């Protein structure tokens, strides 16, 4: 157990190191930052002074070390465009993205798993077939279109829900986090974007759970459970569902990462003040510090989520806990 | 009054190509406390009957006619909810594979307790107490502690004991055992069979034993029903049916069981056919003119050694660590030495986990021995100081694997599967010649040249094993390693495959390394036999000596555990040829 986790942690460090190196290299690939900072008629001496001040004359290793130790403390430099520390910019935007991503993943789990179980058990039923057909639509229509359609229906035609923004927000944890969960307008603003973002995840979770259920229901231990006269509810949820969860947990973990990283489209459609839009602007304005910080942060989320996913396997499957899947192959 | 009564039961499977009649009207009754066996080959419809009785026939299977009466109540027409109250509570079921019958994510205590609670108003604590008592009764040591363990922490035999506990924990009146010991070793099989027999007697439980194994039938059952193509051809008292089978099918089924008491030239083959057509004659290969004969060196006779295993040892890592002192390994094969002479069949026998297959894999070059050498025809081909294994040598050693379903690539046509080694070793001048060789080989293993165009899924287990043999022959080998080649097959198919191997050996002068856990088969096939236990060779002698005068106590123990069929003299029946 401890060995497994420490192995995983070591891998995570390697991943983060490589990502940091790439993020660091961005600064050099995209041109000399000094040239972009000074005016056309700056003298050579002025430029040299600036270079020295910014530490650009130090060796690459020293610069990289400075970059990494800064990043660990949340210091990613100053945005070229916003002229403010990138760390502060991200901190302002992060709650918006996290609340949106978290809500939509939660929605997809709460809807996707029961729907998947249902369609898996009644695969030839009329309702199940209908659900599968609808889910195909959900998986094939692009997110932005769904967003626009929802805005048109619920904001423009019916006027029930706001079409953009986060609504009123409240500062919690001494101003470190701004949340939209505590006000009615914040919650109302969350509905449309989270549904838009959750639709694809829900269909994906549902289809995955369904496929796994179909497999598990064919296994001997399910047949044996039924032959012992156990109630259907026990067979389906206690015996079958738990055995379908390993791949589902993997996919939900990856999806959560992807939702945080690539909520850009939904955030644009709904004018959501999250990190995705910050990143989009950064690309347009060649704002290297923001781009590199974004890169590191997203990689960090993926690594953390994957670590949590692996630990969840441990909690679910006793065979992993005793290492039986690896060790007993030849015993 | 009988406990279970099947009256003219018919079970049909509706498929796209019409209705398959799996069970065609059978009558069978079982009294309380009686153990009745249903025996037959795979596809005879045995398991379908068990599933139908307990109401778990899988679609498209359905009861097409007849009645199932249980304890005075007709149960084939009951609703699913009513049937659920009978399952487990009144009729228990035990499945073949203990490795897959238990839910891997729940502790066995949970699985037993939930079953007890389902069928009675027992509190969880009381159910747990009962579960502990039951586990102790089926012979699981430290039941309190083992209750909290998961299925993967149990061995195969122990898992089957847990399965038995689960099937009997709600005190059913009838238990259906579907091949309950087929997946187990002979020593474990003997324990499980005597446990089942004892439990049925003590609790006065009726039992149906579904099996293809005559030995099991003879050990446990009171009465037996012989099934063939969905029909019961003969029922009667077990000892009477085994000693004096009346129906031609029962006679041929019994005669196909390999005998442990004497070696016959060939396996008696099942020759009962409903239409009475004689089996096709097989063409004999003449090595002088045949493609298979065109291999460089002629086979020399005498007792010259072809293959020698010197101090073979194989260790697998069971616990990895950067720190050497923390590493643990597991010795699968421990200092094994033997030699195999040209043209002989050398047998390796032992229980699962004894290291037989590991030896085969080391000789075939699939594993590199940790210590020791494999010497083939004077060349060191495996282990320390091995010369890089020359393609010529590799070509002479071929292997036939146990599982006919996973050892063939299902996306390749059979013709391509067999042609691959020919083309790889450049044994044919052209693709056209390779194709004609493939057609010829397929013909010789009894499949016919047409098989080349089909994919493996179109063939049964026995036919697939023939494809494996054809593929092995395609390199013109001198040495064949057969790793449990027939343990996944029915006795009649087994007889065909083993006879084919014997014929090919006689025609081609092949040397065989034959690995099996089945003692009668070993006796029929092998000239000399090595007995393995926990990675060590405990006895090595001629087959006659091993069976007639075993020296090592373990060999004696293995022999005593072998379920015996009181096989009558084969010459008694006209229908069976020797």
For residues B152 and A322, the answer to whether their CB atoms sit within 8 Å is yes
Comparing B105-109, B171-175, B299-303, B424-428, the range with the smallest average pLDDT is B299-303
In a domain, A18, yes or no: yes
Together in a domain, A208 and A241? yes
According to CATH, the superfamily of the domain at B305-561 is P-loop containing nucleotide triphosphate hydrolases (3.40.50.300)
How confident is residue A328, by pLDDT bands cut at 50, 70 and 90?
Answer: very low
Distance from CA of B5 to the nearest CA of A (A): 19
CATH number for the domain spanning A111: value is 1.10.3720.10
Residues of A in contact with B150 (CB under 8 A): 318-319, 322
Domain endpoint, select from A72, A94, A112: A72
Report pLDDT for B265. Answer: 76
Together in a domain, A177 and A258? yes
- pLDDT single digits (tens) A152-204: 888 888 878 887 777 777 777 777 777 777 777 788 888 888 888 888 888 88
A226 vs B: CB within 8 A: yes
Average pLDDT of the residues in B153-179: 89
For residues B445 and B438, the answer to whether their CB atoms sit within 8 Å is no
Pairwise CB contact (< 8 Å): B88 & A230: yes
Together in a domain, A96 and A27? no
Among the listed residues A209, A212, A158, A143, the one whose alpha carbon sits nearest the alpha carbon of residue A188: A158
Together in a domain, A204 and A178? yes
Residues of B in contact with A3 (CB under 8 A): 321
Pairwise CB contact (< 8 Å): A228 & B85: no
- List for chain B the helix, strand, coil content (%; round to 5): 35, 25, 40
Distance, in Å, from the CA atom of B255 to the CA atom of B514, rounded to the nearest integer, reads: 22
- For chain A, the domain total comes to 2
Distance from CA of A105 to the nearest CA of B (A): 26
Is the per-residue pLDDT at B194 higher than 70? Answer: yes
Among the listed residues B243, B244, B211, B204, the one whose alpha carbon sits nearest the alpha carbon of residue B225: B211
Together in a domain, A141 and A259? yes
A 10 A CB-CB count for B366 gives: 13
Together in a domain, A151 and A247? yes
Most confident of A59-73, B481-495, B521-535: B521-535
Q: Which of B56, B104, B119 is the closest to A226 by Cβ?
A: B56
Q: Which of A3, A229, A316 is the closest to B84 by Cβ?
A: A229
In a domain, A77, yes or no: no
Report pLDDT for B294. Answer: 64
How confident is residue B68, by pLDDT bands cut at 50, 70 and 90?
Answer: very high
| Top CATH class, B32-55+79-246 | alpha beta
B163 vs A: CB within 8 A: yes
Distance from CA of B137 to the nearest CA of A (A): 19
A 10 A CB-CB count for B283 gives: 10
Interface test with A, best of B104, B163, B177, B359 (most A CBs within 10 A): B104
Distance, in Å, from the CA atom of A283 to the CA atom of B564, rounded to the nearest integer, reads: 80
Among the listed residues B380, B376, B364, B349, the one whose alpha carbon sits nearest the alpha carbon of residue B314: B364
B201 vs A: CB within 8 A: no
In a domain, A262, yes or no: yes
Q: Can you say whether residue A238 is alpha, beta or left, with left for phi > 0 and alpha for psi between -120 and 50 degrees?
A: alpha
Is the per-residue pLDDT at B136 higher than 50? Answer: yes
Interface test with B, best of A10, A122, A221, A228 (most B CBs within 10 A): A228
Comparing B31-40, B373-382, B467-476, the range with the smallest average pLDDT is B373-382
In a domain, A194, yes or no: yes
Q: Which of A3, A227, A319 is the closest to B54 by Cβ?
A: A227
In a domain, A81, yes or no: no
How confident is residue A32, by pLDDT bands cut at 50, 70 and 90?
Answer: low
Distances (CA, A) of B51 to A297, B28, B95, B165: 56, 15, 11, 20
Together in a domain, A243 and A182? yes
Distance from CA of B39 to the nearest CA of A (A): 22
Report pLDDT for A180. Answer: 76
Report B:391-450 residues touching A (Cβ under 8 A).
Answer: none
Q: Which of B97, B152, B153 is the closest to A220 by Cβ?
A: B97
For residues B257 and B567, the answer to whether their CB atoms sit within 8 Å is yes
Q: Which of B87, B119, B318 is the closest to A327 by Cβ?
A: B318
3-state secondary structure of B564: coil
Structure tokens at B238: 């077990």
- pLDDT single digits (tens) B369-403: 888 888 888 888 877 666 666 667 878 899 998 88
Together in a domain, A118 and A28? no
Distance of CA B246 to the CA centre of its chain: 27
Distances (CA, A) of B567 to A70, B125, B239, B240, B543: 85, 51, 11, 12, 20
In a domain, A154, yes or no: yes
Residues of B in contact with A242 (CB under 8 A): 105-106
For residues B483 and B468, the answer to whether their CB atoms sit within 8 Å is no
Report B:67-96 residues touching A (Cβ under 8 A).
Answer: 84-89, 92-93, 95
Cα dihedral A168, A169, A170, A175 sign = negative
Among the listed residues B244, B226, B252, B258, the one whose alpha carbon sits nearest the alpha carbon of residue B568: B244
Q: What residue in B sits closest to A327 (Cα-Cα)? A: B318
Among the listed residues B129, B139, B130, B122, the one whose alpha carbon sits nearest the alpha carbon of residue B199: B139
Pairwise CB contact (< 8 Å): B93 & A319: no
Together in a domain, A40 and A128? no
Among the listed residues B486, B487, B516, the one whose alpha carbon sits nearest the alpha carbon of residue B500: B486
In a domain, A80, yes or no: no
Instruction: State whether ipTM is beyond 0.90.
Output: no
Q: Can you say whether residue B446 is alpha, beta or left, with left for phi > 0 and alpha for psi between -120 and 50 degrees?
A: left
How confident is residue A330, by pLDDT bands cut at 50, 70 and 90?
Answer: very low
- pLDDT single digits (tens) B72-103: 889 888 888 899 889 989 999 998 888 888 99
Distance, in Å, from the CA atom of B178 to the CA atom of B211, rounded to the nearest integer, reads: 7
Longest CA–CA separation in chain B, Å: 79
A126 vs B: CB within 8 A: no
For residues B44 and B230, the answer to whether their CB atoms sit within 8 Å is yes
Distance, in Å, from the CA atom of A93 to the CA atom of A177, rounded to the nearest integer, reads: 9
At residue B373, φ and ψ (nearest 5 deg) are -135, 155
Q: Where in chain B is the domain with CATH 3.40.50.300?
A: 32-55+79-246, 305-561
Pairwise CB contact (< 8 Å): A229 & B118: yes
Together in a domain, A101 and A196? yes
Q: What is the DSSP string of A133-170?
A: HHHHHHHHS-HHHHHHHHIIIIIIIS--S-SSS--S-E
For residues A231 and A275, the answer to whether their CB atoms sit within 8 Å is no
- pLDDT single digits (tens) A202-215: 888 999 999 999 88
Pairwise CB contact (< 8 Å): A318 & B105: yes
Together in a domain, A265 and A316? yes
For residues B210 and B179, the answer to whether their CB atoms sit within 8 Å is yes
For residues A306 and A252, the answer to whether their CB atoms sit within 8 Å is no
Domain that holds residue A68: 2-72
Together in a domain, A226 and A111? yes
At residue B293, φ and ψ (nearest 5 deg) are -80, -15
A242 vs B: CB within 8 A: yes
Average pLDDT of the residues in A44-73: 80
Q: What residue in B sits closest to A243 (Cα-Cα)? A: B105
Q: Which of B88, B106, B153 is the closest to A228 by Cβ?
A: B88
In a domain, A314, yes or no: yes
B177 vs A: CB within 8 A: no
- pLDDT single digits (tens) B400-422: 988 877 888 888 999 999 999 88
Average pLDDT of the residues in B130-136: 90
Distance, in Å, from the CA atom of A267 to the CA atom of B325, rounded to the nearest integer, reads: 55
């Amino acid at each position: 157990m401890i060995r497994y986790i420490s192995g995983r942690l070591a891998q995570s460090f390697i991943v983060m190191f490589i990502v940091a190196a790439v993020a660091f290299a961005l600064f050099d690939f995209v041109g000399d930052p000094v040239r972009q900072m000074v005016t056309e008629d700056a003298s050579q001496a002025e430029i040299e002074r600036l270079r020295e001040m910014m530490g650009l004359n130090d060796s690459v290793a020293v610069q990289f070390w400075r970059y990494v130790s800064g990043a660990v403390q949340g210091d990613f430099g100053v945005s070229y465009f916003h002229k403010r520390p990138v760390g502060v910019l991200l901190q302002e935007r992060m709650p918006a993205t996290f609340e949106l991503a978290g809500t939509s993943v939660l929605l997809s789990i709460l809807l996707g798993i029961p729907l998947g179980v249902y369609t898996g058990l009644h695969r030839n039923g009329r309702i199940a077939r209908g659900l599968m057909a609808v889910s195909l639509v959900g998986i094939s229509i692009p997110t932005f279109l769904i967003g626009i359609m929802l805005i048109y229906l619920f904001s423009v035609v019916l006027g029930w829900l706001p079409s953009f923004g986060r609504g009123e927000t409240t500062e919690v944890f001494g101003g470190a986090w701004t949340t939209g969960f505590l006000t009615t307008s914040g919650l109302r603003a969350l509905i449309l974007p989270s549904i838009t973002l959750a639709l694809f995840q829900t269909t994906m979770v549902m289809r995955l759970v369904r496929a796994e259920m179909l497999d598990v229901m064919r296994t001997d231990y399910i047949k044996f459970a039924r032959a012992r006269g156990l109630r259907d509810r026990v067979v389906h949820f206690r015996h079958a569902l738990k055995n379908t969860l390993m791949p589902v947990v993997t996919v939900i973990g990856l999806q959560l990462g992807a939702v945080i990283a690539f909520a850009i489209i939904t955030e644009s459609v709904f004018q959501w003040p999250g990190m995705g839009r910050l990143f989009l602007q950064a690309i347009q304005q060649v704002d290297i510090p923001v781009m590199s910080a974004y890169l590191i942060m997203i990689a960090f989320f993926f690594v953390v989520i994957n670590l949590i996913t692996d630990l969840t396997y441990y909690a679910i499957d006793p065979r992993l806990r005793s290492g039986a899947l690896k060790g007993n192959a030849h015993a | 009054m009988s406990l279970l009564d099947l009256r003219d039961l018919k079970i049909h499977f509706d498929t796209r190509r019409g209705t398959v009649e799996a069970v065609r009207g059978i009558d069978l009754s079982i009294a309380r406390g009686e153990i009745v066996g249903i025996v037959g080959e795979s596809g005879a419809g045995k398991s379908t009957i068990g599933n139908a009785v307990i109401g778990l026939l899988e679609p498209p299977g359905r009861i097409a006619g007849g009645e199932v009466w249980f304890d005075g109540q007709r149960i084939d027409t009951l609703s699913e909810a009513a049937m659920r109250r009978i399952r487990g509570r009144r009729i228990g079921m035990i499945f073949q594979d203990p490795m897959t019958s238990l839910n891997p994510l729940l502790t066995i205590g949970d699985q037993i307790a939930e079953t007890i609670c389902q069928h009675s108003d027992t509190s969880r604590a009381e159910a747990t107490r009962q579960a502990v008592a039951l586990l102790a009764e089926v012979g699981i040591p430290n039941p309190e502690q083992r209750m909290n363990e998961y299925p993967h922490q149990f061995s195969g035999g122990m898992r089957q004991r847990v399965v038995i506990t689960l099937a009997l924990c709600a005190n059913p009146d009838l238990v259906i055992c579907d091949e309950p010991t087929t997946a187990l070793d002979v020593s474990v099989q003997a324990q499980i069979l005597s446990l089942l027999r004892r439990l049925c007697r003590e609790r006065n439980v009726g039992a149906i034993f579904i099996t293809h194994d005559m030995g099991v039938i003879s050990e446990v059952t009171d009465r037996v029903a012989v099934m063939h193509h969905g029909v019961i051809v003969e029922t009667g008292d077990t000892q009477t049916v085994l000693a004096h089978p009346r129906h031609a099918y029962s006679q041929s089924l019994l005669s196909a069981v390999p005998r442990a008491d004497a070696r016959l030239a060939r396996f008696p083959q099942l020759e009962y056919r409903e239409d009475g057509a004689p089996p096709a004659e097989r063409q004999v290969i003449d090595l002088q003119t045949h493609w298979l004969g065109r291999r460089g060196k002629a086979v020399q006779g005498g007792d010259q050694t072809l293959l020698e295993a010197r101090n073979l040892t194989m260790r697998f890592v069971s616990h990895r660590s950067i720190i050497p002192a923390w590493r643990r390994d597991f010795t699968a094969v421990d200092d094994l030495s033997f030699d195999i002479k040209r043209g002989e069949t050398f047998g390796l026998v032992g229980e699962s986990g004894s290291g037989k297959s590991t030896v085969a894999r080391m000789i075939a070059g699939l594993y590199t021995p940790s210590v020791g050498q494999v010497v083939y025809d004077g060349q060191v081909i495996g282990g320390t100081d091995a010369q890089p294994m020359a393609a010529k040598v590799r070509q002479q050693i071929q292997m036939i694997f146990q599982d006919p379903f996973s050892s063939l690539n299902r996306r390749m046509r059979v013709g391509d599967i067999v042609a691959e080694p020919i083309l790889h070793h450049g044994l044919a001048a052209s693709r056209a010649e390779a194709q004609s060789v493939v057609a010829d080989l397929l013909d010789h293993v009894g499949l016919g040249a047409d098989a080349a165009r089909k994919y493996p899924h179109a063939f049964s287990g026995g036919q697939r094993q023939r494809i494996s043999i054809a593929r092995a022959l395609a390199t013109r080998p001198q040495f064949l390693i057969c790793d449990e080649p027939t343990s996944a097959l029915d006795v009649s198919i087994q007889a065909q495959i083993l006879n084919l191997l014997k014929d090919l050996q006689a025609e081609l002068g092949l040397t065989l390394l034959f690995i099996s856990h089945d003692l009668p088969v070993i006796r029929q096939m092998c000239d000399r036999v090595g007995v393995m236990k926990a990675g060590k060779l405990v006895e090595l002698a001629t087959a006659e000596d091993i069976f007639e005068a075993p020296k090592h106590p373990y060999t004696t123990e293995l022999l005593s555990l072998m379920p015996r069929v009181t096989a009558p003299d084969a010459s008694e029946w006209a229908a069976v040829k020797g």
